Structure 1
Amino acid sequence: MAVAAPASFMKTHIHRFGVRTASAVAAMIFAAQAAWALEPFKVQDIRVEGLQRVEPGTVFASMPLRVGEEYNDEKGAAAIRALFGLGLFTDVRLEANGDVLVVVVQERPTIADVNFAGTREFDKEALRKSMRDVGLTDGRPYDKALADRAEQELKRQYINKSFYGAEVVTTVTPVERNRVNLTFTVVEGEPARIKDIRIVGNKAFSESSLRDLFDQDTGGWLSWYTKSDRYSRAKLNADLEALRSYYLQRGYLEFRIDSTQVAISPDKQDISIAINVTEGDPYVVSGVKLEGNYLEREDEFKSLVTIRPGEPYNADQVAQTTKAFSEHFGNFGFAFARVEAVPEIDRTNNRVALVLQAEPSRRAYVRRIQVAGNNRTRDEVVRREFRQFEASWYDGEKIRLSRDRVDRLGYFTDVNIETQEVPGAPDQVDVVVSVNEKPTGSLQLGAGFSSAEKVSLSFAVKQENVFGSGNYLGIDVNTSKYKRTFVFSTTNPYFTADGISRTFDLYYRTDKPYEDQGGNYELVTTGASMRFGIPFSETDTVFFGGGLERSQIKPGTNIPAAYLAYADRFGYTSTSVPLTVGWTRDDRDSALAPNSGRYQRLNSEWSVAGDARYVRANYQYQQYVPLNKKFTLAFNGEVGLGKGMNGRPFPVFKNFYSGGLGSVRGFDQGTLGPRDVTGASLGGPKKVTLNAELITPFPGAGNDRTLRMFTFVDVGNVYGDEEKVRFGEMRASVGLGLSWISPLGPLRLAYAHPVRKFAGDRIQKLQFQIGTSF
């Protein structure tokens, strides 16, 4: 599979310095020859010979000699140096024909095309772009020295990917009109693989447990996907840091890595890594002292100390404490505070006392906030997320919060904030926000397949940052067999200056039961809504709004009796005016592959007018608990409740459904809960779902979080309007699953075994779907 070349490909290794140095040397030699060949004279005219593609004006503009001036050796040498400096000529001569100065040049060949052959590991377009960045592209003069360096850099990039036997041959093919085709032919060969990793000198921990810390390994049956057995110096450095951190977290204050040897076999196919370490003795913290100026707030700073006397020395706790001190100083405007943890080691008793020395330096306020890198996004879109203001005291907490808010916009790949001192003003700083924009528009054509939905086609046009304004615009179409949708949506996140958002939605949905009884009956919902989002805090947002909705029951063969009963009483078409209120809080570390944090969501709907009168609410809670670097415990709970109003029953087309992925796995999708006499599942106005998962790395995939396994326990059911929620009637299942963040989206596959089921339940043990959580 082709991958894009690194962004820094050849940019830092190919320079024109050598070429221009050689040109300068050649120019001086030619200048000396020219000085011997021509006598001084007054130039009456200048003629250029030998040009093919270069414009004469380029030559005249570069020469420091004009008509009417006196020619001499010094000016001739300067003219030749200037022309060679253009990099367009392989030869430059000056001749005199009477009073006419004749400039004879020989142009460099021009590159007609740059191509690559045999490059499977890198994307060819990315390589061509890298070549363009350094001047090797069609229409530019050919430079052999530059091509040779490009060849060497290409070899180096293959070595970085463990292709030590890769060979690169550069072929220059002349074509008409003094042009050349440049071809880089690559014989990649097979990548070298890590055959052995040895750790020497360890006593406290086994070699196998230490190797488990590494992202690089000797390979497994999934190495074709993870590429964990390919050697990379950058990955090895990261693994060594993980090893060092492991020891420093467990009291080994004087642990060190003495040496690292990387050996490659003669056939360049096998790599052996040997790491020599000295563990030292484990140390216990005997005490923590504060020294220096703490702004007479020692008690506040002491509350930030995470180092615990009597416990083994932990470098992470020390780093967290010093960072917390620096950030707390920043909250009071001391942007340049220095905090250092000085260990006082007692090697006799293997104890260490830590002295936290602090010097707040001087207080500062922010003179100016500058935004850089936003070529498309307007400054105000970035600035309105800032909680630090200009002409206010520097506040480290507000700056960190501002950075996180800008990052959460999703418009940028990188967001960095730097604090710069203002020359001549020791109490002032400038805050520079550097962003790297990413494409925020998408045109998607896709297809999906699930065990419940079969084949579905989707089409979406989305723009999250329309014209750089920060507004959202989207059109979404789905042709699922059971759920077809058309949604038009637009959001202004700053409808007011205080950050209140406004969203308009137009939608058309058709829903069918998940089992096909041979009929084509369906529920058709058409509506429009408007809602506002009010940020009550930095992490909490409350939504409210209203809309107009029309629901239609289209009859067909084998239509459930409950649908007919509702239609006979209230008609096949119902209108409603639902008011909505919702609340969200999300502090997960990742939306796709979370490892820590929690997510909460509450949505409620109240129909205050129309034919259908009801209230409906749904609450979801998720919690992710990291057990260690590899294992995560996840919990999910969801409760739904609906009730009819004004003496009317809860509308059947608003029922909750349960069973299958997203609720209780192991049961057929949407089949739990009440049924009618035909056996069709009706859903219900009450729903309870409880899930627990233990997420682990996939065997052979190392610590790759895009491919993971999980074991799970699911409990839940749906209940009718007159039924009580009885835990004894809840269905339950246990099973094993696979989670993969695939190019098509998050894919989850689960094999479940129902451990509590009842007669008539429809079992489906193997289920999968793209884009489903829990």
Structure 2
Amino acid sequence: MQIKRFFLRTSTALAVLFYVTHAAWAVEPFKVRDIRIEGLQRIEPGTVFASMPVRVGDTYSDEKGAAAIRSLFGLGLFKDIRLEVSGDVLVVIVEERPTVADVEFIGTKEFDKDTLKKAMRDVGLSDGRPFDKALLDRAEQELKRQYINRSLYAADVVTTVTPIERNRVNLTFTVTEGDLARISELRIVGNKAFSESTLRDQFDLDTGNWMSWYTKSDRYSRTKLNADIETLRSYYLARGYLEFRVDSTQVAISPNKQDISITINVSEGERFVVSGVKLEGNYLGREDEFKALVSILPGQAYNADQVAETTKAFTDYFGKFGFAFARVQSRPDIDRANNQVTLVLQADPSRRVYVRRINVAGNNRTRDEVVRRELRQFEASWYDSEKIKLSRNRVDRLGYFTSVSLEPSEVAGSADQVDLTLKVEEKPTGSLTLGAGFSSNDGLGLSFGINQQNVFGSGNSLGLQVNTSRINRLLVLNTTNPYFTKDGVSRTIDIYHRVFRPYYDETSYSLETTGTSLRFGVPVSERDTVYLGAGVERTSIVTGSYLPVAYANYANEFGYASNAVPLTAGWARDNRDSALVPTSGNFQRATAEWSVAGDVRYIRGTYQYQQYIPLSKQYTFAFNGDLAWGQATEGKTYPIFKNFYGGGLGSVRGFEAGSLGPRDASSGLVLGGPKKVNLNFEFQAPFPGAGNDRTLRMYGFVDMGNVFGADESVVFDQFRSSAGVGISWISPMGPLRLAFATPLRKFDNDRIQNIQFQIGTTF
């Protein structure tokens, strides 16, 4: 009975409250004479008026009032909004949300605070923005996500909101980072054909070793795990296991959030051998030409990489004849009884098209003509996939863009036309460098450089380089116009000043060379460039202590200052997959220099050949050959300052840099010689514990070579040779090469230097 009376009293009170509220809210429609806003502090009245669905002169109703409140709340600027009516005046009373005055982080050691503030801005929480509790919750989750990505699963975030004057708040994120969560167990279950250790060697993730502080391979990342699983799948599919699958992946973290266990369950299936390859569909009557592109060989294990390579080759070949939308699908016909598979390649060339228009997008700074002159696919020409690929690669090789893509799109209403869109993303092409390098032979060198590869978006380059070291000093000013002519002939102008001083003593002699040169680069193919040029230079022998007799004799013939007018020619071809960390391909370069006027007359030439052979994903064999030769002409003496030198990194390691070759009889100073032979053999491998990281490598090597005088014959018996091991590291300071070498063949008075290294670059 008491419960019933309570229910009746409560129902009556609610009914009365509803009646009073409804009576207070209900307003008879009226014509609005004025709108007044109260409560604004920082927000402009115009912002409110622009969002109001009611204007002066409109007829106000309850529905329009509700719409006005919803619209103003949608701005996210107000904490409370009320509407009142005073006669025929509509009064809007608002309470602004607090504004974020400052965002501060405490205890964040893993991240730079600027990085975290950027992450907060991405979720809408930054200085000057309205404070929203929902955004604060999102910010906390984003902060925790950033730490989880770094394997800091135990990170705890506490947020403090401190109100300050003028309706503002300070936000403080106090972070307890905790210890790193590391992979303590990584298992692959269900494998039979390959050992678990072999499969784990394919992964970038592992359970850690003594190099994990550098590789961070024991830090769990979902992205890295997915990549490793795809690597595992590719490994099996490339070895005949056509039906391989990953059944499940379990990732478990310990209660203390310090240890992560990963288990990957796989089903290998049977191994299949290719019994044959069939072509079906329309091959334009060129079946024999397409068959020549097939890289799948019957009798060998099914290889998904070869299948993908073949289908891509087919698609590209169709594109060569204008079929931009050709489709090539591979279908395996499986004979499980004999573990064989017949691969059927089904082709549909679709329709032939030509390129209507080529659009360039993203080049905000670089001029259109700088990009378009690299294109080999032209408008109003048949679509050619080879020319399109070549065009994309040429634009990419400019070095002005971080990404380059060239994609076709159909033209509406036309079945035989496509438009190409070349999208580029520009990057800064100017650089200012200040730094220092140190080498075991050259001492400390300070460097300064200004370089702009794309001056004013014109594609021209302009640079200034300055370098100081114990032995070599350099000042170079150069500029290059890659399209001096419309045919792509480049023009380079160099002005340089070099000083060579072999002794620390400032009173010792030195060689000073000042000159200028003009060089043209003539493209003779898409991969080959021939260089032709001429220059004028003056070389001075600055007298001082330790001057060798050979230099004194040369000065007696030509004087202490001599001039030369050399003509230069060169050729280069670079097929390496990377200029910084090459693993395949080759590089060739040949140069010739002929002094046709001036005090000295000579001719000299060099040839360099490098070959990189990938032995596996991790191992590479590399060869480098370097030959040089010089000869005086017109009965003159060969200029001693044009000699070649050998020894050290880049030559025969284990011998002091520049120490090979003839020496001055009185001082023992190495004079170099006009003939040089250098051969290097390297076996490159991952650094122990670094996994697949290519920025840190180790290598074993064998070097041989020597430098010979003008009156000496190049004989193998005089070659010096060495063997050793080394480390190559692409460090933040630049490439580092460290080598420990032991001479295999040496002679009396040879200068041995077992450990040699170089940080940065020298000129």
Amino acid at match of 1:272: S
Residues of 1 paired with 2:275 and 2:53: CA distance? 76
Residues of 1 paired with 2:265 and 2:45: CA distance? 66
The answer (yes or no) to whether the contact 2:51–2:72 under 8 Å persists in 1 is yes
- Structure 1 equivalent of residue 531 of structure 2: 543
The answer (yes or no) to whether the contact 1:110–1:139 under 8 Å persists in 2 is yes
- Structure 1 equivalent of residue 690 of structure 2: 701
1:275 aligned residue (264, 270, 281): 264
Q: Report the secondary structure of 1:323's partner residue.
A: helix
Amino acid at match of 2:534: G
Deviates more, 1:322-331 or 1:402-411: 402-411
The answer (yes or no) to whether the contact 2:734–2:761 under 8 Å persists in 1 is no
- Structure 2 equivalent of residue 201 of structure 1: 190
Tell me, yes or no, if structure 1 residue 745 matches structure 2 residue 734.
Answer: yes
- Structure 2 equivalent of residue 376 of structure 1: 365
The answer (yes or no) to whether the contact 2:31–2:58 under 8 Å persists in 1 is yes
- Structure 1 equivalent of residue 377 of structure 2: 388
Q: Report the secondary structure of 2:582's partner residue.
A: coil
- Structure 2 equivalent of residue 459 of structure 1: 448
Q: Report the secondary structure of 1:495's partner residue.
A: coil
Compared CA separation, residues 266 and 239, structure 1 to 2 (3 A): same
Residues of 2 paired with 1:184 and 1:383: CA distance? 50
Amino acid at match of 2:46: G
| TM-score normalised by the chain length of structure 1 | 0.94
2:655 aligned residue (661, 667, 671): 667
- Structure 2 equivalent of residue 633 of structure 1: 621
1:466 CA displacement: 1.4
1:544 CA displacement: 0.9
User: What are the superposed Cα offsets for residues 81-124 of structure 1, whole Å, 9 maximum, x if unpaired?
Assistant: 22222221111112223332222111111111222222333332
Aligned residue pairs: how many? Answer: 742
1:681 CA displacement: 0.4
Amino acid at match of 1:77: A
| TM-score normalised by the chain length of structure 2 | 0.95
Tell me, yes or no, if structure 1 residue 260 matches structure 2 residue 249.
Answer: yes
The answer (yes or no) to whether the contact 2:311–2:330 under 8 Å persists in 1 is yes
- Structure 1 equivalent of residue 431 of structure 2: 442
Tell me, yes or no, if structure 1 residue 148 matches structure 2 residue 137.
Answer: yes
Q: Report the secondary structure of 1:675's partner residue.
A: coil
- Structure 1 equivalent of residue 276 of structure 2: 287
Tell me, yes or no, if structure 1 residue 220 matches structure 2 residue 209.
Answer: yes
- Structure 2 equivalent of residue 688 of structure 1: 677
Amino acid at match of 2:414: A
Tell me, yes or no, if structure 1 residue 328 matches structure 2 residue 317.
Answer: yes
Q: Report the secondary structure of 1:725's partner residue.
A: coil
Tell me, yes or no, if structure 1 residue 601 matches structure 2 residue 589.
Answer: yes
Amino acid at match of 1:44: R
Which is higher, the Rg of structure 1 or of structure 2?
Answer: 2
Alignment of 1:365-764 (within 5 A): 365-513=354-502, 520-677=508-665, 678-764=667-753
User: What are the superposed Cα offsets for residues 429-456 of structure 1, whole Å, 9 maximum, x if unpaired?
Assistant: 1111222221111111101111111111
Tell me, yes or no, if structure 1 residue 100 matches structure 2 residue 89.
Answer: yes
1:43 CA displacement: 2.1
1:288 CA displacement: 1.0
Residues of 2 paired with 1:103 and 1:533: CA distance? 74
Amino acid at match of 1:512: R
Q: Report the secondary structure of 1:733's partner residue.
A: strand
**Structure 1, unaligned runs of 5 or more:** 1-28
Q: Report the secondary structure of 1:426's partner residue.
A: coil
The answer (yes or no) to whether the contact 2:436–2:760 under 8 Å persists in 1 is no
Deviates more, 1:67-76 or 1:348-357: 67-76
1:294 CA displacement: 0.5
1:34 CA displacement: 11
| Percent of aligned positions that are identical | 70
Deviates more, 1:626-635 or 1:161-170: 161-170
The answer (yes or no) to whether the contact 1:662–1:772 under 8 Å persists in 2 is no
Deviates more, 1:518-527 or 1:193-202: 518-527
- Structure 2 equivalent of residue 40 of structure 1: 29
Residues of 2 paired with 1:517 and 1:74: CA distance? 94
The answer (yes or no) to whether the contact 1:34–1:77 under 8 Å persists in 2 is no
Amino acid at match of 1:632: T
Residues of 2 paired with 1:45 and 1:507: CA distance? 78
1:518 CA displacement: 8.1
1:130 CA displacement: 3.1
Deviates more, 1:311-320 or 1:748-757: 311-320
1:703 CA displacement: 0.7
Residues of 2 paired with 1:369 and 1:123: CA distance? 43
The answer (yes or no) to whether the contact 2:33–2:56 under 8 Å persists in 1 is yes
The answer (yes or no) to whether the contact 1:34–1:76 under 8 Å persists in 2 is no
Amino acid at match of 2:627: V
Compared CA separation, residues 33 and 737, structure 1 to 2 (3 A): farther
Q: Report the secondary structure of 2:416's partner residue.
A: strand
1:675 CA displacement: 0.2
Residues of 2 paired with 1:260 and 1:731: CA distance? 56
Q: Report the secondary structure of 1:588's partner residue.
A: coil
2:341 aligned residue (336, 345, 352): 352
User: What are the superposed Cα offsets for residues 588-612 of structure 1, whole Å, 9 maximum, x if unpaired?
Assistant: 1111111101011111111111112
Residues of 2 paired with 1:223 and 1:436: CA distance? 34
Residues of 2 paired with 1:214 and 1:490: CA distance? 46
